[in-house]
Amino acid sequence: MKIAIVLHSQTGVTLQFANSLKARLASAGHDVSFTQLQTAIPIKGGSVRQKMDIAITNLPDVSGADLILLGGPVWAFGPSPVICEAIKLMNGLKGKRVLCFVTMGFPFKAWGGKAALRWMDRIAAEKGARVLPGSICRRGKLEADIKQETERVAALLLA
């Protein structure tokens, strides 16, 4: 199976989770492409609720992927505006299985993580994606969450 992982990571926490997913899925024999989004002007924070001009310089072509994982940090109780902009701009999501994932600093998933996933899921669904149950990792329990969520995602995707 061809799997595309596309993410935005400011501090490296989301990148750490994405790397765990990549290693696990590749070890199962899948072809995994990996893109860490970059912007023309660094985006250091913000909210999807405010207008921002975001120019992504390396938006990947995911049309050849069978499965797409989309990830980013939780900012201001919502998803990173960078990953949301990427989802809006992506072609090739129609009919594809998509799983969104986020990382967050707060200890409770209800403090932004669940809302961020709903926001990302909605954008992907509007593009015609078949959205799968997403994943949240919390900074306070990062190692345990990454291990648990990597295995949960692998089980869901590889079943």
Which tens digits make up the pLDDT trace of 49-90? 778 889 999 999 999 999 999 999 999 989 999 999 999 999
pLDDT in tens, 84-108: 999 999 999 999 999 999 999 988 7
In the chain, the number of structural domains is: 1
Are the beta carbons of 39 and 82 closer than 8 angstroms? yes
CATH number of the domain residue 81 falls in: 3.40.50.360
Q: Which two tokens stand for residue 24?
A: 């696990």
Three-state SS annotation for 29-58: CCEEEEEECCECCCCCCCCCCCCCCCCECC
Check whether 36 has a pLDDT greater than 90. yes
Tell me, what's the pLDDT at 11? 92
What is the phi/psi pair of residue 87, to 5°?
A: -60, -40
Q: What is the pTM of this model?
A: 0.95
Q: What is the pLDDT of residue 51?
A: 81
Question: Can you give the residue range of the structural domain that contains 134?
Answer: 2-158
Residue 110 has pLDDT above 90, yes or no: no
**SS3 state at 116:** helix
Tens of pLDDT, residues 1-34:
999 999 999 999 999 999 999 999 999 999 999 9
Question: Which run of H or of E encompasses 60?
Answer: none
